[in-house]
Structure formats: C-alpha cells, structure tokens
Amino acid sequence: MLNLHEIENIAKLMFDYSLGVFWLIFLVFIPLLKDIIIKRKDVFTVKDRSTSYESRLYTECSDFVKHKTLTIEGKIFHYVEVGDVSKPLILFLHGFPQFWYAWRYQLRGLQDMDYHLVAIDMRGTGRNYKPRDVHHYKASLLLTDIREIIIKKKSF
C-alpha cells in the first residue's frame, strides 16, 4: 500500500512528465508540422555555411560603416564608425555577450544625421583584446577603456 508521501511524489512526477510532453509538442512538433504542411522546401535541407559567421558580420554592413581599430596601451580595440569625425560624437556601448553588431540598425537609421556615430567592441568581444582572467573585466577597467577611446576619438 502506498502512503500519502509516495502518492504525492508520483503525482508530481506525472505532472512534470505531462508538462514536459506538452512543451515538447508545443515547441518542437507543432512548428515542424506547420512547416511540413505549408511545404517549406528548406525544412530538411543542409544550408551552405562555407563562409564563416564572423566574416559575414563584418561585410554585411560594409556599405555604410567603416571598420577601424584603436590601440590603447598595447591593447587593440575594434570599432565601426559612420559620419563626419568633426561632428558631435555618439558612442554606442553594447552589453554582454553582444558586440558592435547589436547597434547596426541604429547606425543605419542615424547615419544621415549630423553626428559622428561610433560603435565599439568592448574588451573581450569581437576582434578585440581578449584577456583570459576575469579580473581584467572589472567595471573600472571597462570604464577606463571607454574613456581612452573617447579621448582618442576626440583627438582625431
């Protein structure tokens, strides 16, 4: 005979299992079935990935951004810029784990304004300086990087 605690455990296990099956059907089988029903031809095809993801990212926006690098205390920082360097600077800073590419739509949308738009790759992302130790990613060091980039950009 099962006691109350064992019955509760079995009920919880059945509920968890049912919930898992529901999400499997909802997130996997229904979208797959929808694609098969509307006869998408690319559902089960192998996509050409001969060009690397990174190279596609750096050429996709090349019609309006300029890729450049700055060296600060021996560390290389990649950035993209749009607009006239003599105009007021607007600096775009991404979060983790993004890089300059997160700002591509804003850069494109603001490119005709009278601003110098700069989106930088923060320390450890993109084509930048990538220290291994976590203590190199302290907020004070990231802020120093940003300050030095602004100072260098203003001196051009």
Query: Which tokens in the block code for residue 49?
Result: 């990935």
Neighbours of 26 (CB within 10 A): 10
Query: Which tokens in the block code for residue 70?
Result: 């700055």
Determine the Cα–Cα distance for residues 147 and 91; give it in Å rounded to an integer.
11
Query: Which tokens in the block code for residue 101?
Result: 């590419």
Q: Which comes out higher in pLDDT, residue 36 or 8?
A: 8
* pLDDT at residue 54 in the model: 64
* Domain 53-154 top-level CATH class: alpha beta
| pLDDT above 70: percentage of residues in the chain | 86
What is the C-alpha R_g of the chain? 25
pLDDT mean over 87-114: 90
Q: Domain-by-domain residue ranges, the chain?
A: 1-47, 53-154
Determine the Cα–Cα distance for residues 52 and 74; give it in Å rounded to an integer.
28
Determine the Cα–Cα distance for residues 18 and 12; give it in Å rounded to an integer.
10
Q: Which comes out higher in pLDDT, residue 62 or 98?
A: 98
Q: State the amino acid at position 113 in one-letter form.
A: M
Determine the Cα–Cα distance for residues 35 and 68; give it in Å rounded to an integer.
42
* Overall pTM > 0.95: no
Q: What is the pLDDT of residues 54-74, one digit of tens each?
A: 666 666 677 788 989 899 888
Residue with tokens 């300050």: 147
